[in-house]
Amino acid sequence: MRTIGLFLLVGVLILLTGMFQSWNVALGIVNMGLISAILALGVNMQWGYAGLFNVGVMGFVALGGLAAVLVGMPPVEGAWAAGGGRIILALAFGAAVLAGAIYLYKRMTPGAVRTLSLLALLVVGFVVYRRLFDGAVEAVEAVDPALTGYLGGLGLPILFAWPVGALLAAGAAWVIGKTALGLRSDYLAIATLGIAEIVIAVLKNEDWLSRGVKNVIGLPRPVPYEVDLQQDPGFVEQAASFGLDPVVASSMAVKLGYTALFLAVLVVVMWMAQAALASPWGRMMRAIRDNETAAEAMGKDVTRRHLQIFILGSAVCGLAGAMMTTLDGQLTPSSYQPLRFTFLVWVMVIVGGSGNNFGAVLGGMLIWFLWVQVEPLGLMLMQLLSSGLPEGSALKAHLLESAAHMRLFTMGLVLLIVLRFAPRGLIPER
């Protein structure tokens, strides 16, 4: 009952936005809300099912975004000829050196000989790697830097990027999980925080891969372009029959197309998440979360299960990241901010109700709505507060200007209030 009521409430809020602001804004909120819901589902798997504290959501989202570029963009022919093969070779060589180092570490007996040979291998490997890599990168980045200057992607339909984004994120999660799981829960938090910053640093600096801060724009779309719709007489006629201007109608049609795609993904992910939660596997996960020692005594491999769920949850975040970049149509590495992409998702999960998938979806939609709407509300509040002040006073200008920063403050307050007075969230776990 409560669940249905709360979802209806979010629906009404969005309808009100549509009526009082514009239907375009409302649809925009719905689309990002759906992606947020998927993100929240991913984090909820990790935190709600297993009690893992992942604060690197941003990194997995960005990896998903990278996947969209690597799959969707057409390959840059000149760049591949200039040094694409050599970059791949260099990366493979680097990986081989690392693998060799791990092999040496495991096989040789501990002692000075092992340390020295490890050091020698790593130093020589690093020098050779840089020799191979630097030249190739220079060559690739020199190819028409104003337009390309990177390797491009595979030129496949962009929808393929979504599962690839999930795979990339899963790979990163495997590396982190191998290192930090099995230690204190805080360590996983710090490790994920670190990997997220590193992923963003890579996206910003490795121009050959993602064009860095020059951004990749004009990603192909899974839905038609507005301009094409506006020139399609059939569409214009249909829009007119609804009494809509073709420009508005085309932008709404595109957004609705995205909504349908995202909704389909959300339903599939939700169905899988619910099925997993209800299965013996889900019960085992909750048992581990509630009492690790007891679960271990029952013969459950806690660290392995944690690794499994950590990878699954991160993959869902990567999927959502690829969807988000598809929706934006561009990859802008500098737009990834931890407060927005990591901590906001946490607010969604906690407010919605950790451990409950419906709660996560609700939290995703509701908090995204608040995130968008707090800014105009904050501006109204500030105008009200400063209305008594004389026109042109410095304080008034400052108050109005700072309204934009009300968001973070409000989100923190919402999180603290929910944690205090409804620690199990709006839709508690059953």
Partner 1 sequence: MDFLNGLVTLLNFVVIPATAYGAQLAIGALGVTLVYGILRFSNFAHGDTMAFGTMAVILVTWGLQALGVDLGPVPTALLALPFGILITVGLVLVTDRWVYRFYRVKKVPPVLLVIVSMGVMFVYNGLTRLIIGPDDQRFDDGARFLISARDFKTWSGLDEGLALRTSQAITIVTAVAVVAALFWFLNRTRTGKSMRAFSDNEDLALLSGISPERVVAITWVIVAALACVAGTLYGLDKSFKPFTYFQLLLPIFAAAIVGGLGSPLGAIAGGFVIAYSEVILTYAWKKVLVYWLPESLEPEGLVQLLSTDYKFAVSFAILVIVLLFRPTGLFRGKAL
Using CB under 8 A, list all residues that contact partner 1.
51, 53, 55, 126, 134, 179-180, 183-187, 189-191, 193-195, 197-198, 201, 204-205, 337-339, 343, 346-347, 350, 401-402, 405-413, 415-416, 419-420, 423
Q: What minimum distance in Å lies between the beta carbon of 183 and partner 1?
A: 5
Smallest separation, CB 373 to partner 1 (Å): 16
Residue whose CB is less far from partner 1, 186 or 237: 186
Query: In this structure, what token pair is assigned to residue 282?
Result: 């889900």
Cα 61 from Cα 342, distance rounded (Å): 9
For residue 253, the one-letter residue type is A
* Residue 419 CB, nearest approach to partner 1 (Å): 6
Q: Report, in Å, the least distance between residue 275 CB and partner 1.
A: 27
Q: 226 φ, ψ to 5°?
A: -55, -45
The smaller minimum CB distance to partner 1, of residues 244 and 377, is found at: 377
Compute the least distance from the CB of residue 273 to partner 1, in Å.
Answer: 21
Q: How far is the CB of 185 from partner 1 (least distance, A)?
A: 5
Angle between helices 302-328 and 280-290 (to 10 degrees): 110
Nearer to partner 1 among residue 28 and residue 177 (C-beta): 177
Which CB atom, from 72 or from 333, has the smaller least distance to partner 1? 333
The 3-state DSSP class for residue 217 equals strand
Strands 216-217 and 330-331: antiparallel
CA 98/CA 327 separation, integer angstroms? 37
Residue 153 or 353 having the CB closest to partner 1: 353
Cα separation, 357 vs 38, whole angstroms: 10
Nearer to partner 1, 205 or 383 (CB): 205
**Token digits for 179?**
């290192």
At CA 182, angle to CA 180 and CA 188, rounded to 5? 35
Contact 40, 356 (CB under 8 A): no
